Structure 1
Amino acid sequence: MVKPKIRLLFFLVIILLLAGCQMNRNENEPVVKKHSEKKEEELPKTRAFQNAFTRGFIASTDEVENGYYAFTSKTGHYTMLFPEDGSISKQSYSNEESKTESFLAGIKNKGLPNASLSVSYNANTSNTAKGLQYSLKFLKSQADMKEPFHQKKTNDSVIYWSTFTIDQDAYGYGAYIHPSTGKGGIEMIYSVKCDSAAKCVFDKEVKNQASRIFSSIRFDHK
């Protein structure tokens, strides 16, 4: 198993690498236009669409809400909001028979620290009391979390989230999200690099972005 500090430092490297790569909105439009039918020069000049691998997860060039596109998992089991300034590392992506999926995304935020988002989905995860206990314990070990989890419920999912810091290098939010009923769940770790000249300070807008992404998960276990 990868040690928590090594894993988080790896996230920071990805932040720097993806944030340096590549650098319009159609709001309130009910008609979805397939971006595959558009010429490359017609695509939005956002990191999500300028990265060929990332745009393979996004069905429409229309934003669902300001700054976010609708992301559809290749498993077909969940959707989420994806930042327009984000791009997914192709090398980090894995999908095993649509039962598990994982990837790492770098987010080059405007006016906020660059961030990384780790996503890991497992269709077979048990959400019984014992299964949930195991999932939260595993998440805590992955991000070296020391704070208790908070619970939040949406229309069709339950979110357990907490904060973490790693020395003075990074801080962020980790979450385990599962459907209100049934199996399956997603582990998410959202992290940002601390300002090297100052102590790690949790930014309210960073928290808002992490929370918005966590809360946007919608499961579809047909």
Structure 2
Amino acid sequence: MKKEADSKELPNTAAFQDEFTRSLLDSPEEVEDGHYLFESETGGYSMLWPKNAVTDGPPFYQRTKDSFEKIKFYERSEKENYRYSFSTTYSTYGESVIDSTLGILSDSLGYNGEYEKIETDKTRIYFAKSEEPLKHSTAYFFFGYVASKESQRGLEYIYTSQCIDKSKTNCNIDVEKEEEKALHYMKTVKFNTDE
């Protein structure tokens, strides 16, 4: 945790029991049910962090001063047979190079469709989804680029949802609910404005 706390008082959640993940989070107080607030040390943005999601150090976490930050984090439960993966990349290009940004994102996921444009008060989200059959399950990808309307800041966001083993009876991925969840994560990204 950025602000030191007595480890005995830490919540019994994967995020706070993992030393590296804990170092990224400000507070063990949930800001929304099941979620902590991740406030980037770039000073550029904040986003929700699921309480049972963890990340490892480099290469899963990379930061270059205040202009770039990439985090891969995941939540997994063998018992409940699911794996959620998150990949976020913060940059200070905003919408200035949106076509190439979306092109690179599409290429990385083998996607060749259109993006839906979703407006919030302070952001513009370019959103798309796809699925990929895997050997033991199907991976559902919900991805996009969240651009600030007030600055040249943006966050590429990829959320993947899948069962670990689809042959098990408890493979309960509700694609519509997962899409809602992904959009909620993107809509709650907040960018700081330059002062």
Q: Please, which moves more after superposition, 40-49 or 184-193? A: 184-193
Distance 1:58 1:155 in 2: 26
Match of 2:124 among 152, 158, 164: 158
**TM-score normalized with structure 2 length:** 0.84
Identical counterparts, % of pairs? 26
Q: How far 1:113 sits from its partner (Å)?
A: 2.3
Q: How far 1:126 sits from its partner (Å)?
A: 4.7
| Correspondence for 1:5 | none
Question: Match of 1:99, as an amino acid?
Answer: S
Distance 1:181 1:135 in 2: 18
Find the residue that maps to 1:170 and give its secondary structure: strand
Find the residue that maps to 1:88 and give its secondary structure: coil
| Correspondence for 2:46 | 79
| Correspondence for 1:20 | none
Question: Match of 1:103, as an amino acid?
Answer: I
In structure 2, do the counterparts of structure 1 residues 209 and 89 end up closer, same or farther at CA, with 3 Å as the change threshold?
farther
Q: Please, which moves more after superposition, 151-160 or 74-83? A: 151-160
Normalized per residue, the structure richer in strand is 2
Distance 1:165 1:90 in 2: 28
Normalized per residue, the structure richer in helix is 1
Q: How far 1:197 sits from its partner (Å)?
A: 3.4
In structure 2, do the counterparts of structure 1 residues 126 and 86 end up closer, same or farther at CA, with 3 Å as the change threshold?
closer
| Correspondence for 1:57 | 24
Match of 1:209 among 181, 184, 192: 181
| Correspondence for 1:114 | 83
Q: How far 1:58 sits from its partner (Å)?
A: 1.7
User: How many equivalent pairs are there?
Assistant: 185
Match of 2:108 among 137, 142, 146: 142
Distance 2:61 2:111 in 1: 24
In structure 2, do the counterparts of structure 1 residues 42 and 126 end up closer, same or farther at CA, with 3 Å as the change threshold?
closer
- 8 Å CA contact 1:35–1:43 kept in 2: the answer is no
In structure 2, do the counterparts of structure 1 residues 114 and 50 end up closer, same or farther at CA, with 3 Å as the change threshold?
same
- 8 Å CA contact 2:13–2:52 kept in 1: the answer is yes
Post-superposition Cα deviations, 1:103-154, rounded to whole Å, max 9, x if no partner, equal: 100113695721110111111x1514xx211111111111122342112122
Q: How far 1:167 sits from its partner (Å)?
A: 3.3
Structure 1's unaligned 5+ residue stretches are 1-33
| Correspondence for 1:14 | none
Find the residue that maps to 2:90 and give its secondary structure: strand
- 8 Å CA contact 1:89–1:103 kept in 2: the answer is no
Distance 1:187 1:126 in 2: 10
Structure 2's unaligned 5+ residue stretches are none
In structure 2, do the counterparts of structure 1 residues 112 and 182 end up closer, same or farther at CA, with 3 Å as the change threshold?
farther
Distance 1:208 1:48 in 2: 23
User: How large is the Cα RMSD of the aligned pairs?
Assistant: 2.5
Match of 2:149 among 180, 183, 190: 180
Distance 1:205 1:55 in 2: 28
